[in-house]
């Protein structure tokens, strides 16, 4: 740790890298990835770290969109509600993911912590101003947005055209793939969300998700270590079922 501190002091910047950035475990995956220490330092100047308890809201649809966030720990769900309460979860976010980007005055969706979550929070106005001076950051955000857009299109295929079985299998493979990218164990894969959240993400009901999981288990395609931990026993067969992911 002393070594790290010294390294930071040796940097040409007036201030050393702030502590949360110094120890950041997601720097390489996050929006910050393309920035050098000096640039990161400027960005960190606007940043506040925030901790959120499980099941606590981060922001709600139609709140003023005054901040954007990077998830650095935990897991977040984002969702939209219909007036009568039906819910569609549009994404699960994990460390490294960016949260709250919009080009309107209000957020387009609600965000809630699923587990204990740690965030870096940036005031939107100040960040936007800084973007003009850090084109690398803007490029990075554009890249991340394109990536999310592609994921959203995959999700439309899933919701519009896949059977319940295909949806559940696609979901498990997606989770596992995400874990790989973050360097976490991918098989068995952690499933931190409830069955209800899975259902609202896949456009199904809890019952159908549950039935489908036990069906997959019966067919020896997966193994439920426990409710929140799934082994994908026959990845290739699963990929076949998922239909191209």
Interface contacts to a copy of itself, rule CB under 8 A: 80, 82-84, 86-88, 90, 101-104, 108-109, 131-132, 135, 138-139, 141-143, 145-150, 152-157, 159-162, 200, 202-203, 243-244
* Contact pattern for DNA over residues 34 through 73, marking x by CB under 7 A: ----------------------------------------
Please work out the total of residues on this chain that contact DNA, with binding judged by CB under 7 A: 19
Strands ordered across the beta sheet of 117-123: 48-52, 117-123, 67-73, 98-99
Beta carbon nearer to DNA, 49 or 229:
229
Residue 126 CB neighbours (<10 A): 14
Q: Is residue 205 a contact point for DNA (CB under 7 A)?
A: yes
CA atoms within 13 A on the CB side of 173: 22
Tell me: does residue 159 bind DNA (CB under 7 A): no
Q: Whole-number minimum distance, CB 95 to DNA, in Å?
A: 22
Q: Return the percent helix, strand and coil in the chain, to nearest 5.
A: 40, 20, 35
| Beta carbon nearer to DNA, 53 or 227 | 227
Residue 97 site contact among a copy of itself, DNA, none (CB < 5 to 8 Å, cut-off depends on kind) = none
- Shortest Å, Cβ 190 to DNA: 13
In contact, 113 and 56? CB cutoff 8 Å:
yes
For residue 158, state whether it binds DNA (rule: CB under 7 A): no
Burial class from Cβ neighbours inside 10 Å (0-12, 13-18, 19+) for residue 138 reads middle
> Angle, to 10 degrees, between the axis of helix 164-181 and the axis of helix 195-202?
110
Q: How far is the CB of 112 from a copy of itself (least distance, A)?
A: 15
112 alpha carbon, distance to own chain's centre: 12
* Beta-strand pair 76-81/110-113: antiparallel
Minimum distance, C-beta of residue 150 to DNA, in the bound complex (Å): 24
Minimum distance from CB of 162 to DNA (Å)? 7
**How far apart are alpha carbons 204 and 167 in whole angstroms?**
9
CB of 145 to a copy of itself, least distance (A): 4
Sole window of 21-29, 113-121, 143-151, 207-215 interacting with DNA (rule: CB under 7 A): 207-215
- How many separate helices (H) and strands (E) can be counted in the chain? 9, 11
* Binding footprint of DNA on the chain (CB under 7 A): 163-165, 194-196, 203-211, 213-214, 224, 227
């Amino acid at each position: 740790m002393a070594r790290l501190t010294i390294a930071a002091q040796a940097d040409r910047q007036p201030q050393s890298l702030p502590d949360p950035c110094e120890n950041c475990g997601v720097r390489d995956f996050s929006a910050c990835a393309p920035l050098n220490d000096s640039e990161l330092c400027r960005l960190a100047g606007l940043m506040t770290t925030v901790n959120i308890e499980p099941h606590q809201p981060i922001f709600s649809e139609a709140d003023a969109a005054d901040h954007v966030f990077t998830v650095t720990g935990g897991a977040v769900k984002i969702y939209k509600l219909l007036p009568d309460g039906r819910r569609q979860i549009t994404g699960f976010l994990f460390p490294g993911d960016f949260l709250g980007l919009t080009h309107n005055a209000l957020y387009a969706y609600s965000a809630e912590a699923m587990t204990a979550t740690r965030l870096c929070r940036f005031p939107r106005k100040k960040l936007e101003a800084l973007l003009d001076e850090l084109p690398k950051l803007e490029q990075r955000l554009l890249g991340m947005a394109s990536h999310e857009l592609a994921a959203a299109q995959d999700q439309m295929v899933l919701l519009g055209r896949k059977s319940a079985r295909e949806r559940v299998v696609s979901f498990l493979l997606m989770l596992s793939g995400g874990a790989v990218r973050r360097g976490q164990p991918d098989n068995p894969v952690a499933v931190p969300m409830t069955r209800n959240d899975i259902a609202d993400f896949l456009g199904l009901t809890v019952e159908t998700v549950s039935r489908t999981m036990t069906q997959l288990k019966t067919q020896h395609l997966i193994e439920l270590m426990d409710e929140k931990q799934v082994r994908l026993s026959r990845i290739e067969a699963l990929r076949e079922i998922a239909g191209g992911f």
